[in-house]
Structure 1
């Protein structure tokens, strides 16, 4: 049974603490929370006067600018604030959202308490940073980066002693402090559950921000307790196409015993024993099911993969050094906000191909005009990259760039992802609802990839949005005005889809303002320039990496079924497999899936064979003498192992040199060594 909180007894205790601290200069550790005591020390060192009663009038121009700066925070926090206020309504309280500097940017409250709060400028436009308002829940939570409760006379300024406030900090997907959430009321109306409410609500906001930040990646939800997966307690990891860890929330870092700065040096395969491909297959078969996964340190977790499953691929072997750190250049961890890469413009895409240049010129002419763009091309041809470059090059470049892959999301979820929904709109929906992609793109660009895969039932709703410039979330009749530029992409021939009834004709002509056809990589004349550009981008400014002449010749003659996406992955793998003393990518640095094809093309180029050591030649001769048949399998494996061992000895353990002499890729050699 919980003991009732005695407000009068606590008030008397705090008066004693203030007397000891301010009158006698003693530190009342037994009477004060440590967060409050540290805050008092900071305030005294800053020269604040506890008897100060003056207040600055809130700066409404500043709050308008702060709201604009914190648009992402506001969009995700707004429904949470409204829901939180509904829970505390008529309790003589208010709910407050502050930015990272302590400026109040939004609030909801009971009228009787709001009038008292305004007397101490507890309203939007006022700064409640510790150095402006002394010890208070908002400012102290920001300073401590921890949830705090400040009761009555725990406030440094005596004029704020009538308040009791509970606040929790809000962190973004990179763990940076972006704001604080607060419940304030009269100290005589103190509620024990207020701190728990703000902690839970700030966690909801952080989760929404994390999921939106990495909406285009794979999201692994996991926990040591299966009933916590899908709840606020779950841990979240954002996983890139190659298995790289792009983001982790604090719960994930705590469960895995990691620091945030460790992320660039970690890979999915370094954390869990279940292959990423297995998780992808399970998620596609049964999205709601859990799978048991073991951590590399023996922990038992339960997980569920969701998000952009199409972008995930089973990653190859990860090379570790003697300390267990990842070998090679650390992967770039980009801030994957719903905005496009600022360095990417239409001009930067130009590398000399005439067909691509024609597409760039057309797109440049319609920048800033209310003309929808339809990009057509094969998968991997760079449609989303072109859309981001178009966005960055125009007047909306500072606004959000929000993308949705219509083929990567189950048909049952596309509608809620695109249009959003109100709280309780359907079973399984978040209580606070969710803002859809269309509304997120307000003031910027909405990119709908694989628009040809959008269900017919949603095509009519999208057409209505484009005509009326308003979006109506699921579960509500409220229309919300939106201002967006629409860019769509597809690998399908939409005109043919219209003819067979798979795509609405009226929507097709609405989307097809300017049709741009991107050439496939095999059709482009600038492959060499593109390879040089990708090498510079991936290797970085301090490293000069090239490809050998025979690999370049093979690249120019390869058909590239995966287009630019495939070329980019090949370049990344090639650079990652270079040794510290290497700066030229050869055939043995290529991924296994293209090694044989590109290696065969490269072998047609004349090259002087490297001498093979006598021991390796002797071993290879023995291998040729081995009898064929099933009975010889064990002996063949022994000879293969012996040959690899002798080659490694001959090359003093140099993996790259051994792979060259054996005529296999380094990936294959690592895999064979792992099997032995």
Structure 2
């Protein structure tokens, strides 16, 4: 205890000397205070603050305004409150309080010892008050936000003299996208500082981050990893959220540190690229054992991996496929083999028109020539764009996609060009890079470019001409190096004639145009069926198709293109009984056997209950089969016998699929 008091006295003497040099003489007290504190002091001077600056006039928000801000930060509060309570139990009766603030330094909630809370209220250390650095000077909350790093501010390290009785430890909380969304703080009396407070705050913040990540991505595959197996499940583990099709959606900060990459280099990239492993094999190895783990090699280092979250019902990579007709199965792969990267070569399954598009695209790889991909909805334009990116010299760079038709017109500008902090109402304090900036060094894919608003077309044209982008609210142009790939189902020449698309932008984008054939026009349907079925069988026995079923798949017009074919195959496999491996006409929707004229892609009518849109929240094969059976039963007016005949299964099998037995 005596040593602690001596250290505190020594620290206080050094601070007194540092403040005299800095505030009275205008000299830098280097070596007397932490560089982080000194940087903050200098910022405070630039803000126009003085060490004896009075308290801000507006102490805190009223109850209604505070409730609004709490609602705005409801996810942070939902995960942070239990941790605050737990932390307070550890420090109760120590003359301290626990504080949770938002990304702007606004205190959302506090809990603490009554005697200290009374003192804190006098300096507005209360819910509804802002402790941003430009208002309160150097303090753990505001400075942690400014530095985006854990911060300890002891006594006279506070810029404002009237805060000198405080000792504060704070740590920023990062959201799943890597941006600061809040800060957790423990504040107390300077005379009763505890050595391990900062460590407690850092650990608690890490727990909040982990819970937020798991909550936001609860419906995704969570790949948890660490170089040490005993760290799995702890706040120190890395977590990657991955979609069922193998795309990395987010990686937490610990994960980025373990992998040695940036968020922009991981997001929207295939799992096999980021982790150098086959996600399908990983799922198959760990399915049904959420406590188990295995080792994989990433960048030459061994890491231990565990799967949690919403695991896919099936293996998503190719598997053995035994087809008695002309379908050729993909070769058998080792369970730990790496998933082949999607390239222009791997796209080719024998169709002449697709091969021509691939050959044309391959000729401009590595050249500064934009490519425009045309084709019907569902024809595989984004897949082609990814393959083009992975085949060229930019494959190690990011592949960033933006669907111009799926984002509201009011948001697409900020999504594409980015914005500076405070550029508009609701903008993040720190701003955000746009898709163009994120694609620097890689490929920017603009899907449905024909739906881009006219005013943004002019800005995009300027970016392409000048090779630099200016975020909203900023005057500083940022140099960018991107390869541009665009796609549309519209005929852009007709849009130019109608005045809805700029002619100069059209010629700028149309460096080379490739048109992907609709599925009904392709000659490689058998090979595609083999690949899709192999991907869906997963742990089941390989499936086979009767020749008549295969002919039905080949002769159908496929208005929904590849997406529709994939959905039909999923349903067909789901309708197989246990141990059954032969898919016949009875497992396919009736529409495939009707004589329909070939028509352009249009939404299907409600009568196409099997192959229109993907099944509602379809997950496991059992659920897909249940939904398909239910729809057929509804179409049959509730007649079990008629529905079973239509599905080609027994009444008992239909009852089982409906969950009635």
Quickly say closer, same or farther: Cα 1:544–1:92, change in 2 above 3 A: closer
Distance 1:234 1:83 in 2: 21
Match among 321, 345, 366 for residue 391 of structure 2: 321
Aligned pairs for 1:213-612 within 5 A: 213-264=216-267, 266-295=269-298, 297-310=299-312, 313-315=315-317, 317-318=340-341, 319=343, 320-323=390-393, 325=395, 330=400, 543-546=486-489, 581-585=513-517, 587=522, 593-594=528-529
Q: Deviation digits for residues 537-582 of structure 1, max 9, x if unmatched?
A: 699759454599xxxxxxxxxxxxxxxxxxxxxxxxxxxxxx9742
Equivalent residues in 2 for 1:193-204 (5 A)?
193-204=196-207
Displacement after TM superposition at 1:583 (Å) = 2.8
Q: Deviations over 1:84-115 (max 9, x none)?
A: 10010000000001111111110001011111
Task: Give the drift of 1:17.
Answer: 0.4
Deviation, 1:15, is 0.6
Provide, for residues 107-154 of structure 1, a one-character-per-residue CA deviation record: whole Å limited to 9, x for no partner: 001011111111111111111000110000000000100000000000
CA contact (8 A) 1:167 1:180 kept: yes
The answer to whether the 8 Å contact 2:41/2:138 transfers is yes
Distance verdict in 2 for CA 1:34–1:592, change over 3 Å: farther
Q: Are the structure 2 counterparts of residues 114 and 593 from structure 1 closer, same or farther at C-alpha, using a change threshold of 3 Å?
A: same
Q: Distance in 1 between matches of 2:154 and 2:172?
A: 18
Aligned to 2:42: 41
Question: Is the CA contact (8 Å cut-off) linking 1:545 and 1:583 kept in structure 2?
Answer: no
Deviation of residue 272 (structure 1)?
Answer: 3.0
Distance change >3 Å, CA 545–CA 103, structure 1 → 2? closer
SS at match of 1:4: helix
Q: Normalized against structure 1, the TM-score is what?
A: 0.52
> Residue in 1 aligned with 2:27?
26
Matches within 5 A, 1:156-167: 156-167=159-170
The residue number in structure 1 matching 2:116 is 113
Unaligned runs of 5+ in 2: 318-338, 344-389, 409-445, 453-484, 492-510, 532-544, 558-661
1:605 and 1:209 mapped to 2: Cα distance?
Answer: 46
TM-score (ref. length: structure 2): 0.53
Change (3 A) 1:591 1:112: farther
Deviations 1:302-328 (A, max 9, x none): 000111112664246423234462799
Query: Could you give the per-residue CA deviations for residues 322-348 of structure 1, whole angstroms, max 9, x where no partner exists?
Result: 4462799645699xxxxxx997xxxxx
Question: CA 1:268 to 1:106, structure 2 compared with 1: closer, same or farther past 3 Å?
Answer: same
- Relative distance call for 1:67 and 1:591 in structure 2 (3 A) is farther
Deviation at 1:584, TM superposition (A): 1.9
Seen in structure 2, the aligned counterparts of structure 1 residues 241 and 146 have a Cα distance that, compared at 3 Å, is: same
Q: 1:62 to 1:590 in 2, by over 3 A?
A: farther
Contact 1:546 1:583 in 2 (8 A): no
For residues 151-184 of structure 1, give each alpha carbon's deviation from its aligned partner in whole angstroms, at most 9, with x where no partner exists: 0000000000000000000111101111111000
Describe the superposition over 1:508-563 as per-residue Cα deviations: whole angstroms up to 9, x where unpaired: xxxxxxxxxxxxxxxxxxxxxxxxxxx97699759454599xxxxxxxxxxxxxxx
Give aligned pairs, total: 379
C-alpha displacement of 1:229: 1.1
Tell me the CA shift for residue 594 of structure 1: 2.2
Show structure 1 runs of 5+ residues with no match: 335-340, 344-534, 549-578, 607-676
CA-based RMSD of the aligned residues comes to 3.5
Residue aligning to 2:356: none
Q: Does the 8 A contact of 1:137 with 1:182 survive in 2? A: yes
1:635 maps to what in 2? none
CA distance change for structure 1 residues 590 and 160 in 2, over 3 Å: closer, same or farther? Answer: farther
Q: Tell whether the 8 Å contact from 1:239 to 1:268 is kept in structure 2 after alignment.
A: yes
CA distance in 1 between partners of 2:44 and 2:169 (Å):
19
- For the residue of structure 2 that corresponds to 1:179, the secondary structure is strand
Could you tell me whether the CA contact under 8 Å between 1:223 and 1:229 is conserved in 2?
A: yes
Structure 2 counterpart of 1:373: none
Partner of 1:4: 4
Tell me, in whole angstroms, the C-alpha distance in 1 between the residues paired with 2:256 and 2:403: 16
Per-residue deviation at 1:57?
2.7
Q: Map Cα deviations across residues 238-286 of structure 1 (whole Å, 9 max, x no partner).
A: 0111111000001111111111111245211113344212221233242
1:35: Cα distance to partner?
1.3
Inter-CA distance 590–90: structure 2 relative to 1 (3 Å threshold): farther
In structure 2, relative to structure 1, the CA distance for the partners of 1:113 and 1:226 (3 Å cut) is same
Give the C-alpha shift of residue 25 in structure 1: 1.0
Q: Is the 8 A contact 1:240 1:312 kept in 2?
A: no
